[in-house]
Amino acid sequence: MKQIRVTVWNEYIHEKEMPEVAAIYPDGIHGAIAAFINKEEDLRAGTATLEMLEHGLSQEVLDNTDVLVWWGHCAHDRVADEVVERVHRRVLEGMGLIVLHSGHASKIFHKVCGTCTLNLKWRESGDKEILWCVNPGHPIMEGLGDHIVLEHEETYGEHFEIPQPDELVFIGWFQGGEVFRSGCCFHRGRGKVFYFQPGHETLPTYHHPDIQKVLVNAVRWAAPVNGPKQEYGHYPNPVI
Ligand code: ZN
């Protein structure tokens, strides 16, 4: 079976500096995500972190990555621009990109969204969140129910300063009354991008089976398609 090759990238700072985060994710958020992805026969995940040479995202690693998962929060500005450019090129070539939670403020998400700011409202009060599915026929909803309950999550609220998503899969409702476009799909070049809001570092969100299912489905959805190579410009030979 041809496996989908996944690289899970994490800045990997909170887990080393905050014992309460390490207690939830002893192998790092990247380790937790890679572990449940690796339980799937058709998927194979490796990890990369900020501190590694080229942040673990050399051209060779990216050339052998079908889907890149991105978690970052406090060190977006420490990600080298040339690595961001490299990732962006691979997305346009067809590599899938899944941006998680506070990754909304990452350089790579800015790049794929084509904006300088991606603001939102936020509050760390541990409110309940209900993720409501608004696109039940979408591949990311395979095998899931019509909503997911998270007893505690960081509140993110609209307005979320993103370009209009090509497809919206989830709207998050928070106990405080806010709503948020929590699962957004974008197409960029040949690549597919999924932004998924849950995943605050002090909460066990990535241990929730439905959140794991969403991410596994998102990896399959975002994987590249072996479609035709395109030729552009002057085209002297008509097909018919
Ligand atoms: Zn957070």
Q: Which two tokens stand for residue 212?
A: 């794991």
Residue type, 205: T
Spatial neighbors of 85 by CB under 8 A, at least 6 apart, are 111
For the entire predicted model, the pTM comes to: 0.97
Show pLDDT as tens, one digit a residue, over the chain (240 residues).
Answer: 899 999 999 999 999 999 999 999 999 999 999 999 999 999 999 999 999 999 999 999 999 999 999 999 999 999 999 999 999 999 999 999 999 999 999 999 999 999 888 899 999 999 999 999 999 999 999 999 999 999 999 999 999 999 999 999 999 999 999 999 999 999 999 999 999 999 999 999 999 999 999 999 999 999 999 999 888 898 887 777
What pLDDT, in 10s, does the model give residues 127-149? 999 999 999 999 999 999 999 99
Separation between Cα atoms, residue 41 and residue 201, nearest integer Å: 27
d(CA 141, ligand 1 centre) in Å: 24
Give the burial class of 173: count Cβ atoms within 10 A of its Cβ; 0-12 exposed, 13-18 middle, 19 or more buried.
middle
Cα torsion through 65, 69, 71, 77, rounded to 10: 50
Q: Is the dihedral of CA 90, 133, 142, 73 positive or negative?
A: positive
d(CA 153, ligand 1 centre) in Å: 8
Answer yes or no: are the C-beta atoms of 149 and 128 closer than 8 Å.
Answer: yes
How, if at all, do strands 191-196 and 96-100 pair? parallel
d(CA 203, ligand 1 centre) in Å: 9
**How big is the chain by its Cα radius of gyration, in Å?**
18
d(CA 102, ligand 1 centre) in Å: 6
